Structure 1
């Protein structure tokens, strides 16, 4: 796998997630500064997933609202599920992590 591939996947994920996350601002759930902070948290977690050999980036969804992270998707093992949560908890600004990842 080339180095460009994870970068391209990350950029595609960010482009797809931005319009969905912006809805929280329009619905009054958070202000623009909070949205920016949450976007930075989500992007940091996704970038760490890309770098981690255990977590399959494309299998785990990340959403953040007011510093509270929700992980979704399906992974191959409990180890991968726990590693994803551990990575998310290690990101600056994360208040809590709801690990809703299922195991295939």
Structure 2
């Protein structure tokens, strides 16, 4: 009986450590946040790809905790603004850091 209790206690403690290992910090995403950010990145990339005036190969998209960062080089200022507007329009995006530069 005592052996069973110690195994149960050990499993409980191990599960607590496992859950704590998946928790997020200000500089590290949790597992669920990573998946959510991957989905957001894909949605933003698809939206930019579907915009005929933008060259999606020239725009990089990264997401961290719902904040989308756009980078790359485009031909004109209108493309910079358009990419930012498209990213802001994707459901789930908290904010956009538009670091796209003009060639």
The answer for unaligned runs of 5 or more in structure 2 is: 1-23
CA distance in 2, matches of 1:40, 1:75: 24
- Does 2:86 correspond to 1:83? no
Q: Where does structure 1 differ by over 3 angstroms across 4 or more consecutive aligned residues?
A: none
CA distance in 2, matches of 1:85, 1:49: 10
Name the counterpart of 2:102: 103
CA distance in 1, matches of 2:85, 2:53: 12
The answer for unaligned runs of 5 or more in structure 1 is: 1-24
For residue 60 of structure 1, report the CA deviation from its aligned partner: 0.4
Measured against aligned partners, the alpha-carbon deviations of 1:56-97 in whole angstroms (never above 9, x if no partner) come to 100000000000011000000111110100000001111110
* RMSD, aligned CA: 1.3
For residue 49 of structure 1, report the CA deviation from its aligned partner: 1.2
Higher radius of gyration, 1 or 2? 2
Q: How many residues align?
A: 78
In the superposition, the TM-score normalised over structure 1's length comes to: 0.72
